[in-house]
Chains A and B, each alone.
Chain A
Amino acid sequence: MELLSNLALGFDVALSPLTLVLAVVGCFLGTIIGALPGLGPSNGVAILIPITFSLGLDATAALVLLTSVYYGAMYGGRISSILLNIPGDEPAMMTTLDGYPMAKAGRAGDALVISGVASFVGALLATIALAMVAPFLARIAYKFGPAEYFALYALAFATLGGMASNNQAKAALASFIGLAIALIGLDNNSGFYRFTGGNLHLADGIDFLVAIVGLFAVSEVFIFIETHGKSSAAGVKLGKVTVPWAEMWSTRWTMIRSSIVGFVAGVLPGAGASLGSFMTYMMEKGIAGEKGGFGTGVAKGVAAPEAGNNAAAGGALVPMLTLGVPGSGTTAVLLAVLMTLNITPGPTLFADRPEVVWGLIASLLIANFVLLAMNVPMVKVFVKILMVPPAILLPGVTMVSFVGIYSLSGSYFDLVLMIVFGVMGYAFRKMDIPTVPVILGILLGYQMENNLRHAMTLSGGDWTYLFSSPIAAVLWVAAAAGFIAPMFLRGVLKRPPVPDSANED
């Protein structure tokens, strides 16, 4: 019962009037930050760092506030995905695929409630797993070398073909464009700059936040202008919010499966929440088969990515706390906060500073229940924020996008780049090319290339090294199955492909 006594210690630290207030404030701010396109969990946490210091909060109080913002933003990202077809942050990207079609069909309330509960299940299971097995799980990271990571990314790309069920060639084209964009910047393996044209602003490559805000939010504004708001995503109406119990119950296994897969993806540094939500969505789509109707607005299609990305957010804390390896942008910022507070994450943290670790875990549990309350019964509060008339909302979205992107490096260059991506997103939507694979290409391409090059360096150019470990072999088999199975099944079932309504407008 060491776990219980540890948790008691944690709640002892985390349960004070001040920390509870901070948790509520953090969850509220986090949900708003998550819901606003351009501002994601990493900006949210980064914006609040100076505030925690100027308030003179101690380590525990600061962590409670910042992790509440982190979890809150993970919940909030789904709201604009569902209502506006603009992901509030990058892991919420997959939620647009079924969430927005549900909203268009007049079921926005159902989508919000189901995804809110899925977020809760994912985050709760992940926090419990973090408490129980973090020190043990940290050892998973030791099993993943360049070959294993490369196989993992290959698995993600192999399942991509099933993404846009109406035209696989367009999905492939989009992912190649993303991969090409990922090549820009410093080549870690030779120390040379590639495709920067001597421009220092491109030296670090293109931040995928610039790409995601451009492709989704800015292109939405263009569509809005073109159609005078008639077929724009903004302005979906939300009626009375009721809890669709039966439908939610039907997604219970989806939520649990997705939580497990999402958590493992989060634990692996370099995979993270975006890959977690992508893989859970593709997995559930595969399990449901053609009859599942994924992409047309089904409950499982919003439950899977939301359970997956929230579980991954909890999982990403495992390598951050136990190894000091941040698995995502947000955990990198949290790591910086810990270091500034003179707490060094690493293998000895659980033994040296139990009050910090267990206080953090207790505050995550508290934040999770606060968020469930805010995001299911009180979801209309946040919806109201996004429900102002489109003529006001879209300029507001544009402004937040510009501020968020400007804050990345404080240069107008990124703003110009964002508009370029906006034009590209507009053109792609006109040509019915999905934009999600572009983002995945940018997101995963850099790491995928690095790991391939590392593997080749370590093996002296022997490509069989990529298949040499059992973990890598299993991942390759899964990748091959994920690539071949949809073609094979399609041939056997002889069903007409399901139109991908998420990309129609």
Chain B
Amino acid sequence: MKFTALKALGTSAVLALAATSSAWATECIAPANPGGGWDFTCRQVGKLLYDLKQVDAPVQVTNMAGAGGGLAYSYVVNERNTDADLIVAASSATTTRLAQKAFGDATADQVRFVGAIGADPGVIVVAKDSPFQTLGDMVEAIKADPGSVAFAGGSAAGGFDHMKPLQVMKAAGFTDIGSIKYIGVDGGADAITQTVGGFTQAMTGDMSEIVGFIQSGEVRALAVLTEDRVPGFDDIPTAREQGFDVVAVNWRGFYVPKGISDDEFNVWASRIQAIADSAEWKETMTANGLAPFTKVGGDFQSWVDQVVADTEALSKEIGVIQ
């Protein structure tokens, strides 16, 4: 951690000395402490960028935790706006928070979203002895009595995990989504513990959070929120095939500073495409429960814009923002 501070000092010193510091390593900012999803994205992709000769020096990873990614966001916008050697790890949490104005006054158009290279599929899970056998059973129970099913998830109220069951209920034509019970606990494993313990009736989270518990048989997944079934978990039906048209994946990707040129943006887009196509990255994804999800360049930016608009509308509906 001391090293991070020193590196940050070093980086700024070099930047101050010479704007053309092509010899200096590319930097990836993980807007969280070591160990989380953003840190994982930076370290794995950073390693592959160098291994696959996409960059000519090892990528340096800087951890900048705070405000759920907000500190790093405002740092990039205010201090590094034209730095073409910088990428920042991002995920669905980034766009959710931007849509909800959780990064102060920052808005999603202050950076450029350059690419996603994989996704952690959203899942809805119940304890093994739950009366619900299908997602439809659960939806019917909530329609009959919204208070009878409480969800636990690893994000705060209004966060990405909270949105998933709300989107399912909206797709089922249920309008009073403010009445659906949700508690935000400390991470996915904690949410499963509350559900297995019977304190909540269902857990909403990411595929990577439930793998061990699915294998031990303590929980059952009612639905995975992807377009197609996830390889390796072929017995879990999608919400879509059960009649609820919801796709909610926690994508993992990057944004770059707004002030770089279109050419520089396209260089990053092609680098990320190269990582996504590599055999090494496919292996990493399988080992970590990630599903393929590749969108780069302009495609990705317009997809993000749509997601931000949708999240904003849903957040207003449940009263997280005015």
**A interface residues with partner B (beta carbon < 8 Å):** 43, 46-47, 49-50, 141-146, 186-193, 198, 200-201, 203-204, 269-270, 323-326, 332-333, 335-337, 339-340, 342, 344-349, 403, 406-411, 450, 453-454, 457-458, 460
The answer to whether A47 and B184 touch across the interface, beta carbons within 8 angstroms, is no
> How distant is A270 from chain B, measured CB to nearest CB, in Å?
8
The answer to whether B35 and A323 touch across the interface, beta carbons within 8 angstroms, is no
Given A146-B199, A336-B34, A349-B212, CB of A204 within 8 Å of CB of B68 = yes
Q: Please encode chain B, from 52 to 73, with 1 for each CB lying within 8 Å of some chain A CB and 0 for all others.
A: 0000000000011111101100
Q: Whole-angstrom distance between the alpha carbons of A346 and B212 in the complex?
A: 5
* 10 nearest A-B pairs in the assembled complex, by CB-CB distance: A336-B35, A346-B212, A191-B158, A145-B199, A407-B1, A203-B67, A347-B216, A142-B197, A324-B189, A454-B183
Given A190-B158, A191-B156, 10 new contacts (CB under 8 A): A43-B1, A145-B194, A187-B156, A200-B104, A203-B70, A269-B193, A325-B186, A344-B212, A347-B216, A450-B185
Chain B residues, Cβ within 8 Å of A323: 189, 192-193
Q: Whole-angstrom distance between the alpha carbons of A186 and B68 in the complex?
A: 10
Q: Does B4 contact A (CB under 8 A)?
A: yes
> How distant is B195 from chain A, measured CB to nearest CB, in Å?
10
Q: Please encode chain B, from 62 to 103, with 1 for each CB lying within 8 Å of some chain A CB and 0 for all others.
A: 011111101100100000000000000000000000001011
Q: Whole-angstrom distance between the alpha carbons of A142 and B128 in the complex?
A: 14
Q: B211's closest neighbor in chain A, by CB?
A: A344
**B interface residues with partner A (beta carbon < 8 Å):** 1-5, 8, 33-36, 39-40, 43, 63-68, 70-71, 74, 100, 102-104, 147, 150, 156-159, 181-187, 189-190, 192-194, 196-200, 211-213, 215-216, 218, 287, 320
Q: Mostly helix, strand, loop or mixed at chain B's interface?
A: mixed
The answer to whether B35 and A337 touch across the interface, beta carbons within 8 angstroms, is yes
Q: Whole-angstrom distance between the alpha carbons of A200 and B106 in the complex?
A: 11
Given A190-B157, A203-B66, CB of A347 within 8 Å of CB of B213 = yes
The answer to whether B5 and A406 touch across the interface, beta carbons within 8 angstroms, is yes
Q: Whole-angstrom distance between the alpha carbons of A320 and B243 in the complex?
A: 37
18 contacts between A and B (CB under 8 A): A141-B197, A144-B197, A186-B102, A188-B156, A191-B100, A200-B67, A200-B74, A201-B66, A269-B190, A325-B186, A325-B190, A333-B35, A336-B39, A340-B40, A340-B43, A344-B212, A406-B5, A410-B8
Q: Whole-angstrom distance between the alpha carbons of A406 and B3 in the complex?
A: 11
The answer to whether A346 and B2 touch across the interface, beta carbons within 8 angstroms, is no
Q: Whole-angstrom distance between the alpha carbons of A143 and B187 in the complex?
A: 18
The answer to whether A191 and B66 touch across the interface, beta carbons within 8 angstroms, is no
Q: Which of B70, B156, B213 has the most CB of A within 10 A?
A: B156
The answer to whether A340 and B320 touch across the interface, beta carbons within 8 angstroms, is no
> How distant is A62 from chain B, measured CB to nearest CB, in Å?
14
Chain B residues, Cβ within 8 Å of A47: 1-2
The answer to whether A190 and B320 touch across the interface, beta carbons within 8 angstroms, is yes
> How distant is A448 from chain B, measured CB to nearest CB, in Å?
14
Chain A residues, Cβ within 8 Å of B103: 200
> How distant is B41 from chain A, measured CB to nearest CB, in Å?
12
Chain B residues, Cβ within 8 Å of A450: 185
Chain B residues, Cβ within 8 Å of A324: 189, 212
Given A189-B184, A348-B216, A349-B212, CB of A143 within 8 Å of CB of B197 = yes
The answer to whether A348 and B215 touch across the interface, beta carbons within 8 angstroms, is yes
Chain A residues, Cβ within 8 Å of B34: 46, 49, 333, 336
The answer to whether B157 and A348 touch across the interface, beta carbons within 8 angstroms, is no
The answer to whether A458 and B150 touch across the interface, beta carbons within 8 angstroms, is yes
> How distant is A438 from chain B, measured CB to nearest CB, in Å?
23
Q: A142's closest neighbor in chain B, by CB?
A: B197
Determine which of B183, B194, B218 lies in contact with A347 in the assembled complex, contact meaning CB atoms within 8 Å.
B218
The answer to whether A411 and B71 touch across the interface, beta carbons within 8 angstroms, is yes
Determine which of B71, B213, B320 lies in contact with A409 in the assembled complex, contact meaning CB atoms within 8 Å.
B71
Q: Whole-angstrom distance between the alpha carbons of A46 and B213 in the complex?
A: 27
Q: A349's closest neighbor in chain B, by CB?
A: B212
Q: Whole-angstrom distance between the alpha carbons of A269 and B186 in the complex?
A: 10
> How distant is B144 from chain A, measured CB to nearest CB, in Å?
15
> How distant is A183 from chain B, measured CB to nearest CB, in Å?
15
Given A145-B197, A200-B103, CB of A346 within 8 Å of CB of B189 = yes
Chain A residues, Cβ within 8 Å of B150: 457-458
Q: B39's closest neighbor in chain A, by CB?
A: A336
Given A49-B34, A411-B66, CB of A188 within 8 Å of CB of B184 = yes
> How distant is A149 from chain B, measured CB to nearest CB, in Å?
10
The answer to whether B35 and A142 touch across the interface, beta carbons within 8 angstroms, is no
Q: Whole-angstrom distance between the alpha carbons of A186 and B70 in the complex?
A: 12
Chain B residues, Cβ within 8 Å of A460: 147
Chain B residues, Cβ within 8 Å of A458: 150, 181, 183, 199-200
Q: Whole-angstrom distance between the alpha carbons of A118 and B317 in the complex?
A: 56
Q: Whole-angstrom distance between the alpha carbons of A50 and B63 in the complex?
A: 12
The answer to whether A336 and B36 touch across the interface, beta carbons within 8 angstroms, is yes
Chain B residues, Cβ within 8 Å of A269: 186, 190, 193
> How distant is A47 from chain B, measured CB to nearest CB, in Å?
6
The answer to whether A200 and B189 touch across the interface, beta carbons within 8 angstroms, is no
Given A144-B197, A145-B199, A457-B181, CB of A189 within 8 Å of CB of B67 = no
Q: B193's closest neighbor in chain A, by CB?
A: A141
The answer to whether A50 and B3 touch across the interface, beta carbons within 8 angstroms, is yes
Q: B284's closest neighbor in chain A, by CB?
A: A342
Q: Whole-angstrom distance between the alpha carbons of A454 and B39 in the complex?
A: 30
Q: Whole-angstrom distance between the alpha carbons of A8 and B65 in the complex?
A: 41
The answer to whether A46 and B5 touch across the interface, beta carbons within 8 angstroms, is no
The answer to whether A191 and B157 touch across the interface, beta carbons within 8 angstroms, is yes
The answer to whether A200 and B216 touch across the interface, beta carbons within 8 angstroms, is no
Q: Whole-angstrom distance between the alpha carbons of A203 and B74 in the complex?
A: 13
Q: A342's closest neighbor in chain B, by CB?
A: B287
The answer to whether A191 and B320 touch across the interface, beta carbons within 8 angstroms, is yes
Q: Whole-angstrom distance between the alpha carbons of A115 and B295 in the complex?
A: 58
Q: Whole-angstrom distance between the alpha carbons of A210 and B181 in the complex?
A: 34
Chain A residues, Cβ within 8 Å of B40: 339-340
Q: Whole-angstrom distance between the alpha carbons of A26 and B220 in the complex?
A: 41
Q: B318's closest neighbor in chain A, by CB?
A: A191
> How distant is B186 from chain A, measured CB to nearest CB, in Å?
8
Q: Whole-angstrom distance between the alpha carbons of A144 and B190 in the complex?
A: 11
Q: Whole-angstrom distance between the alpha carbons of A457 and B184 in the complex?
A: 11
